[in-house]
Structure 1
């Protein structure tokens, strides 16, 4: 496939996302599966961790498809969804080999009436009706359905990779920048950080059980020195139920934290202390959102004022923990 298509479509989708729009995929048969697949890649991830990209497939709700097909006709299964969901700031991408399917053409006609930008990915011999209804057409150099589908998947994967490479992770970095603003303005002098998902990359449905699994956030390291200069004290407060469950020893946890602190020091950052919930009683008051760890912190550092403390976390329990100790909470998306 020509890389020109990757960049043109990639730039257009990036612009759509930055302007608050969403990407809408639709197609029949195998292209319906590709529509579901690509919406998943955009909302989840392709390769890199990054914010979810707003995308949906019009092929995934079987109840809705059969309802519209039964009540309004099969040719309206996509058009009616476009009419209910699409906005002028969105981009709709229809996948069709023939370019003649009535439900595809009706969907593009709905886009035209709404003012939603439309793209078709189709075979090399473009159907004139499709050309008349669609704003932009990518013609795959083949007439064979299987090959058109394969090349379409390859193209859209490249587009997703292009967007991941070029989309910014400023949302995470902005959490730390916001904390700096509180410090610079004199509203806070202490910073409490959750570990996994904030300082260290989150391991979904897993634990960091050795130093090789430790992967510090580049966004955090980028501002670690500024945070060290702005805050009098910086702490990590983290739930480590893996110790309570017997998956990790306290010595191993301490080794992980020693390496983490050493890596932060290398970039001019600083963590003054780590407080970890490790009780075998998994309902213990030391586990966030309960306040056992904050009591331990205050006992060791009695000058800390939680009213002048920022808590940065990536979960609802972190938010509740901040609420329970009277601190200001800043949400940090787990990228």
Structure 2
């Protein structure tokens, strides 16, 4: 039992260290922060979606934006497309599960908004469909992806790819990236208000 725990901690620590040296990933996160701050400044909103653990990450991200991360401030406009169970199940039933996020993007997104797609595989059909809808209506997108980025990497304006095969390790880095984005966005606006 102790060996399993130690092995997980060691594997996670090694991945965190490798991510720090991954200049492309770090620069992608910086670019994402710039896009999100610009969207907030222009009174646009952030739409976020994912499945399973990534749905939980989407909701966590939105909670940090609308509530606060570490600094008391006005809320930032963000919507998790995963939370309205009546809507999600109606869309899945009336259209298909592949359309549950795309339909919401098509309906809720406006010019200047950003769609954040969270998928550890990069291949979730409903995320791919939502990214295609975002591209069709002309809004930018950020992908928190895993493995090789899957199909999603070529559909995102900013793909942030965690190059690992373990879903758990990818999710750990995704939440680190979410916290890092929230921290940077908050500090940007705190500095700007001085």
Shorter-chain TM band: 0.7 to 0.9
Q: Which residue of 1 aligns with 2:15?
A: none
Once the 2 structures are TM-superposed, how far is the Cα of residue 21 of structure 1 from its aligned partner?
Answer: 1.0
Aligned counterpart for 1:83 among listed residues 106, 128, 138: 106
Once the 2 structures are TM-superposed, how far is the Cα of residue 168 of structure 1 from its aligned partner?
Answer: 4.1
Aligned alpha-carbon RMSD (Å): 1.7
Structure showing greater radius of gyration is 1
Indicate whether 1:130 and 2:152 are aligned.
yes
Q: Which residue of 2 aligns with 1:162?
A: 184
Cα contact 1:24–1:92 (8 A) shared by 2: yes
Once the 2 structures are TM-superposed, how far is the Cα of residue 6 of structure 1 from its aligned partner?
Answer: 3.5
Q: Which residue of 2 aligns with 1:65?
A: 88
Once the 2 structures are TM-superposed, how far is the Cα of residue 143 of structure 1 from its aligned partner?
Answer: 1.4
Please give the per-residue CA displacement for 1:243-302, whole angstroms capped at 9, x wherever unaligned. xxxxxxxxxxxxxxxxxxxxxxxxxxxxxxxxxxxxxxxxxxxxxxxxxxxxxxxxxxxx
Change (3 A) 1:63 1:76: same
Q: Which residue of 2 aligns with 1:140?
A: 162
Q: Which residue of 2 aligns with 1:7?
A: 30
Once the 2 structures are TM-superposed, how far is the Cα of residue 35 of structure 1 from its aligned partner?
Answer: 0.4
Indicate whether 1:35 and 2:55 are aligned.
no
Q: Which moved more, 1:101-110 or 1:8-17?
A: 8-17
- How far apart, in 2, do the equivalents of 1:41 and 1:156 lie? 9
Q: Which residue of 1 aligns with 2:69?
A: 46
- How far apart, in 2, do the equivalents of 1:42 and 1:25 lie? 11
Once the 2 structures are TM-superposed, how far is the Cα of residue 138 of structure 1 from its aligned partner?
Answer: 0.8
Cα contact 1:51–1:169 (8 A) shared by 2: no
Indicate whether 1:120 and 2:146 are aligned.
no
- Segments of structure 2 that go 5 or more residues without pairing to the other structure are 1-18, 21-25
3-state SS of 2:142 partner:
strand
Cα contact 1:6–1:162 (8 A) shared by 2: no
Aligned residues: 171
Q: Which residue of 2 aligns with 1:101?
A: 124
Q: Between the two structures, name the one with larger relative contact order (CA 8 Å, sep ≥ 6).
A: 2
- How far apart, in 2, do the equivalents of 1:6 and 1:77 lie? 27
- How far apart, in 2, do the equivalents of 1:132 and 1:164 lie? 29
- How far apart, in 2, do the equivalents of 1:126 and 1:38 lie? 20
- TM-score (normalizing by structure 2): 0.83
- TM-score (normalizing by structure 1): 0.49
Cα contact 2:47–2:115 (8 A) shared by 1: yes
Once the 2 structures are TM-superposed, how far is the Cα of residue 169 of structure 1 from its aligned partner?
Answer: 7.9
Query: What aligned pairs does 1:199-214 form with structure 2 within 5 A after superposition?
Result: none
- How far apart, in 2, do the equivalents of 1:151 and 1:157 lie? 10
Spell out structure 1 runs of 4+ moving beyond 6 A.
none
Higher helix share: 2
- How far apart, in 1, do the equivalents of 2:53 and 2:170 lie? 11
Change (3 A) 1:89 1:122: same
